[in-house]
Amino acid sequence: MTMLDPSSNELPPIPGKRYFTIGEVSELCAVKPHVLRYWEQEFPQLKPVKRRGNRRYYQRHEVQLIRTIRMLLYIDGFTISGARNQLEVDSDKGGKNSLGSQQSIKSIVEELEEISALLEV
């Protein structure tokens, strides 16, 4: 896979795996690995599991969170602190019509379309 343009809103669908390496997340979210490591320091909600030799393993909900952070920063033009505040506001709303749940719904729709295309073949 090639790295997508950070300002582009076109991201590949998230595969049905439980854990993703930092390299896989980098490609899925069109964000370089060093940026992901930086975001871990800036966004307390982002806590990948660390195993052998401090290798990071992200879960599906973290990949979706990274996509939401990416959208807030690169597309909506928020600053880091503004994006952090927006995520806190969304979590305070309980996820009702929040950016995170909109991203989740979009992700589910993309996956269903992908499954539908596979079944038509």
Closest to 102 (Cα-Cα) out of 71, 75, 60:
71
**What pLDDT is stored for residue 1 in this prediction?**
42
Burial of 83 (0-12, 13-18, 19+ CB in 10 A): buried
- Residue 102 confidence (pLDDT) above 50: yes
More confident residue, 52 or 103: 52
Collapsing DSSP to helix, strand or coil, 28 comes out as helix
- Residue 84 confidence (pLDDT) above 70: yes
- Residue 104 confidence (pLDDT) above 80: no
Maximum average pLDDT range among 1-5, 52-56, 95-99, 103-107: 52-56
Per the CB < 8 A criterion, the answer to whether 21 and 57 are in contact is: yes
Pick the CATH number of 19-120 from 1.20.120.420, 3.40.50.1100, 3.30.43.10, 1.10.1660.10: 1.10.1660.10
Report the distance separating Cα 53 and Cα 1, nearest Å. Answer: 26
